[in-house]
Amino acid sequence: MNQRKYALELLAEAGLLGCKLAPTPIDNVKRVSFTIGEPFSDILAYRRLLGRLMCLTNTRPDITFSVHHLAQFLSKPSIAHYDAALRILHYVKNAPSLGLFFPSYSSLQLKAYSDSD
25 domain-assigned = yes
Evaluate whether residue 27 is within a structural domain: yes
Q: Can you give the three-state secondary structure of the chain, one letter per residue?
A: CCCHHHHHHHHHHHCCCCCCCCCCCCCCCCCCCCCCCCECCCHHHHHHHHHHHHHHCCCCHHHHHHHHHHHHHCCCCEHHHHHHHHHHHHHHHHCCCCCCCCCCCCCCCCCCCCCCC
In a domain, 110, yes or no: no
Q: Please give the chain's pLDDT, 117 residues, in tens.
A: 678 899 999 999 999 998 899 999 988 877 787 777 899 999 999 999 999 999 999 888 899 999 999 999 999 999 999 999 999 999 999 888 888 777 778 787 767 777 766
Write down the pTM of the prediction: 0.81
Residue 66 lies in a domain: yes
Structural domain boundaries enclosing 48: 4-94
- Residue 107 within a domain: no
In a domain, 78, yes or no: yes
Number of compact structural domains in the chain? 1
Q: Is the residue at 49 inside a domain? A: yes
- The answer as to whether 111 is a domain residue is no
